[in-house]
Homo-oligomer: A and B are copies of this chain.
Amino acid sequence: MRYCSECGAPVTTRVPAGDNLPRQVCERCNTIHYVNPKIVTGCVLTHENRLLLCRRAIEPRRGYWTVPAGFLECHESMADGAAREAWEEALATVELEALFAVINVLHMGQVHVMYRGTLVGGRHAPGPESLETMLVGIDEIPWHDLAFPSVRFTLERFCEDLRFGSFGLHETSFDAGP
């Protein structure tokens, strides 16, 4: 941010009175512009013991595999956002069961939340943001071609819980530094 989104004046970076972190502040209209983490919401979907994966058609990580996931919009719940992403990326209709993973991606200013659920009817096909979609057994996951560390974390925990026979809620943080 270089200009105040309220009045158009250049902003400065300083710690406002009563605060303890530097913020971007407009010295003309006194607006403080807070920047907060964004939520990425997605889901691990199964059909007859196989998992739905999508190969990304867009950057970042074009050509690599992911579960359906994307930025949460205003006016939708995290679960509704995960279902929307499944439709947009894999033309998949879903029944979500529970929140499964929370990954704080500190260096990106993001929190990734992953639900688990089922793929209704087993039907899927690439949406505009996917090159292809597929259902894979847990022994066929392309571990070396996954798009993001949060996808790896989610799939690792999912496979473990599936073998164990009971699903938990898994929480972690990643920090690749500034």
Tell me, rounded to whole Å, the shortest Cβ–Cβ distance linking A145 to chain B.
25
Q: Contact size class for A? A: 35 or more
For A1, the chain B residues whose CB sits under 8 A away are 5-6
10 smallest A-B Cβ distances: which pairs?
A: A3-B8, A77-B104, A74-B109, A1-B5, A77-B173, A5-B5, A36-B38, A8-B8, A75-B106, A37-B72
Report the copy number of this chain in the oligomer.
2
For A169, the chain B residues whose CB sits under 8 A away are 98-99, 169
Cβ of A51 under 8 Å from chain B: no
With contacts A102-B99, A111-B39, A111-B78 known, is A71 near B34, CB below 8 A? yes
Tell me, rounded to whole Å, the shortest Cβ–Cβ distance linking A26 to chain B.
10
Q: Assess the B21–A5 pair: CB atoms within 8 A.
A: no
